[in-house]
Structure 1
Amino acid sequence: MATTLTGGNQHVIKLPNTPLNAQPDPQIIAHQWLSCLSEQLAQANFAGSDLFHDESWWRDMLALDWDMRTVRTAGEIQNFLAKKQRTAKLSKFRLQDTGKFQPRLEQVVDGLSWISSMFFFESAVGTGTGMLRLIQADNGSWKAYAVYTSLQELSSAQEPLGKRRADGTTESMPGGIAGGTWIERRKRQKEFLDEEPTTLVVGAGQAGLNMGARLQSVGLSCLIVDKNERVGDNWRHRYRTLVTHDPAEFTHMAYLPFPQNWPQFTPKDKLGDWFEAYASIMELNIWMQTSIVSAEYNEAAGQWTVILSRGDGSQRTVRPRHVVWCTGHSGEARIPSFPGQDSFQGKVYHGSQHRDASESDVRGKRVVVVGTGNSGHDIAQNYYENGADVTMLQRSGTYVLTADKGVFMMHKGLHEDGGPPTEECDIVAESLPWPVQLALSVHMTKRIAEAEKETLDGLRRAGFELDFGQDGAGITRAYFTRGGGYYIDVGCSQLIIDGKIKVKHNPGGIHGFGNHELHLADGDSLPADIVVLATGYDNMRTTVRKVLGDKVADRCSDVWDLDNEGEVQGVRTDISCHCGQYLAAY
């Protein structure tokens, strides 16, 4: 039953094998285990604890430690709890008793079954939610394989939700009528005329808007700045045919889910308009057409001094305690250059600059799209549909799954129409350590490949190189370790299979440009009138370095990939508490 780790920080593990000795009662077993955990935590004594499997995991988000932690093996978990429980004081545990995530027996994959349940608890600073997953040991006892704890709310900063919502009348607002009406207060709030923002959020995309809404809900003043003219322009300015590849149930914003009649996949301009409306409804303080001139952090004061340049040409100095970087993974284009490129007689541009092939007459033009990720496929399809002769240049393999089959298989049982509440689904989706999620993804990737066999076989016949990732973990590993390397098929794969879009696989890539062609490393050439470099985007840390300088960037980690414990580097997920991060990247 041992879990093995290989490959440095690659976190490739083998899942345990757990044959059941008898049909268990999940309610009784989960209750007994959680009661024993509660007793040991109350006594802060874990000597001789038999609650954890030898190769167990505990993932914690701010409940035991003011960080995101993944701890592995029974001994390390006991040491972690003994150290952190002294101040965290987790107590008053209770199991979820309704809905899908009350105690139940799950056959996760062949050979692995566990009893899972959501649970709730209190801590010294607030309330939390967790998940337990128990497996049966060889002697028949039930031990934890994976436990998750997450702080959901601070007692000192409860969100004004439901019965705690604000009264809203002018008399009930701070200072009463003397402080002005709602609109009069909003005008001053948006300009921060009476206070400094506690947090400066850079970027008014989905991450920045979500972050601002969460922070303001717990009483932290927040200023969001963005270089675009309007909220939502980060989507409006992308290529004309772009539509989201994630379904609606998976992409709700905090407090304001999409309407029931919202399309499953959202066109870019519609999404941009939704973000603009969201910002207004959530009363977010946003300065558009604003950029950072300089930013310095005073360690002793715990405060930033940030000079902002605004759209009217004026400058404003703000002094927030925190800066949150929300410029997006696709914010800084990675644009390579090649020998002879200046002598090329055609057009060369990066995929981030693509708008639409119909903007000029491309019929019969020879187009080479360099790169086979999502944008590369979408751009190739766009050119083909406007009459161009399209070839995709592929250096390394790409993972492919379809939007109509594979994507919905991944979300089945959680973020889907008619599924459990989004808030509960989010807890469950985050509750397993990433190494375990990657191991489970190996099985899911195989199931998806079987369901999409016809498409995958057709791509192979067309010369398209497929890559299922290290250990065969598919899109999960590709996304969270690389931020790319995959294509969610919305139609281009069939064009490749039918030979309507050609593929040239060349591991060495481009050797250089000629006047009317690309010279490849293997000695071949591709005639070209237009070359689109769909070569992806730089790490978000690169943007931090350009704007905030080396001193700050050197204190940040790269964004994406897994650290030594197995947590995603440089990313702080949606949290509604104030944990004093020097710089958080999303």
Structure 2
Amino acid sequence: MENKILDVLIVGAGLSGIGAAVHITKRCPGKSFAIVEGRERLGGTWDLFRYPGIRSDSDMYTLGYNFKPWTSRRAIADAPSILKYLNETVDEYRLKDKIQFNHKVVDASWSSEEALWTVSLQHGDGSLSTVQCNFLHMCSGYYDYEEGHNPDFPGKAEFSGQIVHPQFWPEDMDYSGKKVVVIGSGATAVTIVPVMAESAEHVTMLQRSPTYIVSAPGVDKWALRFRKALPSKLAYLMTRWKNVLWGLFTFNLARNKPKAFKKRLLDMVQEEMGPDVDMANFTPSYNPWDQRLCLVPDSDLFASIKSGKASIVTDHVESFSKEGIKLKSGQTLEADIIVTATGLKMLTGGSATISVDGKPVNFGETINYKGVMFSGIPNFGMTMGYTNASWTLKADLTSEYVCRLVNFMAENGTPIATPTLPSDGSIGTEPMLDFSSGYVQRAIKDLPKQGDRKPWRLNQNYPKDIINLRHKTVDDGVLVFSKAGAVAVHSPDNQDDVASIAAE
């Protein structure tokens, strides 16, 4: 691949990257592309995380691709099933030869003179190579693969047992008959607790504050009914839209009637746990969908707690001790193993250094365009899934839009496309993610912004994005098209100026 100029370079061989490659194959015939993956295997999140019970936190009829029906019986799928689905996709579309493993992007620099990205790749043996491309499509996710969020709890060194972060789960981990404390209350914690509780002596989920927890059937009965009555693709489409519309309905209901929606969620927990449950452990201080809801399949977490094999404690860590964790309330939780399910460290564009015409890009100073590109960065797309729905719904639409854009540039002889802010500085900004979750708030200053109007504003709405990304004109007057040596350049330090560099 070295020294070859590609039409599109895809970064990442997870759900997003493999999906992007299929869309290019189907929609951009004749265009050259490759996938580079920093790790030695495909799968991204679904290969990296190996903790007990690792599974989807969305149904697979929406987390699956729009071009490949999910045919497994389970709607909430474990990581091995998702990896099988991914490998089937790679085989079906003959993508194996397109993937370069152990090729990590360390630098990407754009040249307006050449209308090319020059991308530096570090191989598994430490050596470097470069590849050039016209369009760079980042499908590497939104978090740091090499480092999780791991608070420096006082007294860590004193603890006599084992401390594990879910992002780096040891293959030989034996927790049978052990006392386990899982610190956290998010999707990872609610997944780990019931699975570990099956063989551990006891598992305690220690949370600073509760999260909304909702049970859903592991098998979608409507999907099975559709499959019996309809052709496979139509059944998948029907199930997909059923789940999309139900998700949108409940999200909008939560935002418009938060008190009533909160009451219903808590009533559902009460119904699951019985009249004697301490609802303080299940009652968040924030409104539903200010953070993502935690989905548990077939009530597994609730069943684990009711059996006595697991429990929830709401308190703050004062320090670790030899025996376990001292809480601010004065209580001590004894533990042989402590699992720090304390979250992710967010990254935009991975750990690579990115520059445009010699100027380093600071994503925190850019504004999102259509949920795909960023102000002042030519020929650069990034897949970011929905916060209120399945990741792949947005990933599919992002890839479709990138294909439309690549085809438009080729057809019109304008190989550069730059999202360009108005020169009057009239676009107001706000955080790109309207979420109070810790992992978002810790990274908020480094994340791109969104504008106060379209096309600089995120929809977080799949039907609207179908219109926006699949059907609206590519040449909207905001995306500036130019030839090599002529490009609109946005200065993030001065949002009110748009400089035109012309070299005909």
Q: TM-score, normalised by structure 2?
A: 0.61
Q: Which residue of 2 aligns with 1:255?
A: 67
User: Where does residue 212 of structure 2 map in the other structure?
Assistant: 399
Structure 2: gaps of 5 or more residues: 369-430, 436-449, 481-488, 490-504
Letter in 1 for 2:169: H
Does 2:325 correspond to 1:522?
no
Structure 1 residues 446-465: aligned runs within 5 Å: 453-455=270-272, 457=274, 460-461=277-278, 464-465=281-282
Answer yes or no: is the 8 Å Cα contact 1:199–1:223 preserved in 2: yes
Structure 1 pair 232–468 and aligned structure 2 pair: CA distance change class (3 A): same
> CA 1:416/1:297 → structure 2, altered by over 3 Å: closer, same or farther?
farther
Task: Decide which of 233, 241, 253 is 2:53's aligned counterpart.
Answer: 241
**Structure-1 residue corresponding to 2:320:** 513
3-state SS of 1:567 partner: coil
After superposition, what is the alpha-carbon deviation per residue over 1:322-372, rounded to whole angstroms, capped at 9, x for unaligned? 33332234654211112221232222121222357x832541x33211002
SS of aligned partner of 1:319: strand
Q: Which runs of 5 or more structure 1 residues have no equivalent in the other structure?
A: 1-190, 480-484
Asked which structure has the greater RCO (Cα within 8 Å, sep 6+), the reply is 2
Corresponding letter in the other structure for 1:244: S
- Indicate how the Cα distance of structure 1 residues 516 and 240 shifts in structure 2: closer, same or farther if over 3 A, else same: closer
2:284 aligns with: 467
The SS at the match of 1:464 is helix
Counterpart position of 1:208 = 17
Number of equivalent positions: 373
Measure, in 2, the Cα distance between the counterparts of 1:199 and 1:464.
49
Opposite residue 14 of structure 2, the aligned amino acid is G
Q: CA deviation at 1:536?
A: 1.3
Deviations 1:264-287 (A, max 9, x none): 332311221221221232233221
Percent sequence identity is: 21
**Partner of 1:199 in structure 2?**
8
Distance 1:440 1:521 in 2: 37
CA RMSD of aligned residues (A): 4.3
Write the distance in 1 (CA, Å) between the matches of 2:465 and 2:9. Answer: 17
Instruction: Tell me if structure 1 keeps the 8 A contact 2:175–2:337.
Output: no
- CA offsets, 1:120-176, max 9 Å, x none? xxxxxxxxxxxxxxxxxxxxxxxxxxxxxxxxxxxxxxxxxxxxxxxxxxxxxxxxx
Match of 2:361 in 1: 551
Is contact 1:210–1:254 with CA below 8 Å preserved after alignment? no
Alignment of 1:531-542 (within 5 A): 531-541=338-348
Cα distance between partner residues in 2 of 1:309 and 1:270 = 30
Post-superposition CA distance 1:33-77 (Å, at most 9, x none): xxxxxxxxxxxxxxxxxxxxxxxxxxxxxxxxxxxxxxxxxxxxx
8 A contact 2:213–2:282 mirrored in 1 = no
Corresponding residue of 2:433:
560
Q: How does 1:341-420 map to 2 (within 5 A)?
A: 341-354=156-169, 359-360=173-174, 362-363=176-177, 365-404=178-217
Counterpart-to-counterpart distance in 2, 1:559 and 1:423 = 30
AA aligned opposite 1:360: D
SS at match of 1:275: helix
**Aligned equivalents of 1:346 and 1:337: distance in 2?**
16
Residues 544 and 235 from structure 1, CA distance in 2 versus in 1: closer, same or farther, beyond 3 angstroms?
A: closer
- Give the letter aligned to residue 439 of structure 1: R
Q: Residue 545 of structure 1 contacts residue 553 of structure 1 at CA under 8 Å; is this kept in 2?
A: no
Which residue of structure 1 aligns with residue 296 of structure 2?
488
Contact 2:57 2:187 in 1 (8 A): no
**1:396, distance to aligned residue in structure 2 (A):** 0.9
Alpha-carbon distance in structure 1 between the residues aligned to 2:228 and 2:124:
42
Q: Distance in 2 between matches of 1:354 and 1:243?
A: 15
Q: State how far apart, in whole Å, the 1-side matches of 2:137 and 2:332 are.
A: 46
Structure 2 CA distance for partners of 1:251 and 1:432, relative to 1, 3 Å: closer
The answer to whether the aligner puts 1:227 opposite 2:227 as a matched pair is: no
Which stretch of the first structure deviates more once superposed, 330-339 or 452-461? 452-461
Greater Cα offset, 325-334 or 544-553 = 544-553
The alpha-carbon deviation at position 203 of structure 1 amounts to 1.5
- Counterpart-to-counterpart distance in 1, 2:227 and 2:331: 47
Aligned residue for 2:35, secondary structure, equals strand
Q: Which residue of 1 aligns with 2:78?
A: 267
Paired residue type of 2:364: D
* 8 A Cα contact 2:210 2:282, kept in partner: yes
Distance 1:240 1:493 in 2: 17
Render the CA deviation track for 1:454-503: whole Å, top value 9, x for unaligned: 11556842752323842xxx3x5423xxxxx6242551222223432122
Of residues 501, 517, 520, the one that matches 2:310 is: 501
Counterpart of 2:54 in structure 1: which amino acid?
Answer: L
Separation of aligned partners in 2, 1:449 and 1:415: 31
In the TM superposition, what are the counterparts of 1:9-408 in structure 2 within 5 Å? 191=1, 196-219=5-28, 220-232=31-43, 234-237=45-48, 238-259=50-71, 262-284=73-95, 285-299=98-112, 301-311=114-124, 315-329=128-142, 331-332=144-145, 333-354=148-169, 359-360=173-174, 362-363=176-177, 365-404=178-217
Letter of the 1:560 counterpart: L
SS in structure 1 of the partner of residue 163 of structure 2:
strand
Q: Find the aligned partners of 2:128 and 2:88 in 1 and give their Cα distance.
A: 27
Structure whose alpha-carbon radius of gyration is higher: 1
How far residue 437 of structure 1 moved from its aligned partner, in angstroms, is: 6.3
CA contact (8 A) 1:201 1:325 kept: yes
What letter matches 2:86 in structure 1? F
Contact residue 202 and residue 226 of structure 1 kept, 8 A: yes
The answer to whether the 8 A contact 1:236-1:272 is kept is yes
Q: Structure 1 487/264 Cα, relative in aligned 2: closer, same or farther at 3 Å?
A: closer
Q: Distance in 1 between matches of 2:270 and 2:13?
A: 40
Is the 1:234–1:272 contact (alpha carbons within 8 Å) kept by the matching residues of 2?
no
Work out the CA distance in 2 between the residues paired with 1:198 and 1:441. Answer: 47
CA distance in 2, matches of 1:451, 1:462: 11
- Secondary structure at the counterpart of residue 182 of structure 2: strand
Corresponding letter in the other structure for 1:339: P
Q: Which residue identity lines up with residue 198 of structure 1 in the other structure? A: D
Letter in 1 for 2:283: L
- Show CA shifts across 1:177-198 (max 9, x none): xxxxxxxxxxxxxx488x5222
Using the TM superposition, give the Cα deviation of residue 408 of structure 1 relative to its aligned residue in structure 2, in angstroms: 6.1
1:456 to 1:246, Cα distance in 2 relative to 1, 3 A: same
Equivalent-residue separation in structure 2 for 1:302 and 1:338 (angstroms): 49
What aligned pairs does 1:424-435 form with structure 2 within 5 A after superposition?
429=244
Q: Is the 2:325–2:335 contact (alpha carbons within 8 Å) kept by the matching residues of 1?
A: yes
1:573 and 1:525, CA in 2 relative to 1: closer, same or farther beyond 3 A? farther
SS of the equivalent of 1:391 reads strand
Counterpart pick for 1:439 among 255, 260, 266:
255
TM-aligned CA distance change 1:271 to 1:458, over 3 Å: farther
For residues 383 and 362 of structure 1, the distance between their equivalents in structure 2, rounded to whole angstroms, comes to 8
